[in-house]
Amino acid sequence: MTTSSAISADEGEQVNEPRGKTRGVVSIDPERCKGCGYCVEFCPMNVLAMSTKFNAKGYHYPEVVLSDKCTGCDLCGMYCPDFAIHGKRIPPAGPKKE
């Protein structure tokens, strides 16, 4: 979700105000994964978890557990040393043309 920052006058704290929902999708190639877990650790929306399944190399790979929370920020892909995962933003649906 995209947010804008504002300062609360009462407490002097930063407050995030929603502007609208940014949607995304995560693509995972389980066979490239070595199970490091960086993608799970650095996902700000907690979209990923390590699977209980193994790939052909014997590693646990990530799986999407909360797809509706993904914003497509691609932090998962930026931290993946094996290029096994990436996030992509989905363009918002525009008004229908008649």
Domain ranges, ordered by start, for the chain: 22-90
Q: What fold is seen in the domain 22-90?
A: Alpha-Beta Plaits (3.30.70)
Higher pLDDT: 83 or 10? It is: 83
Residue 95: the pLDDT is: 65
Quick check: 70 and 26 in contact, CB under 8 A? yes
Percent of the chain at pLDDT exceeding 70 = 74
Question: How many angstroms separate the CA atoms of 35 and 55, rounded?
Answer: 9
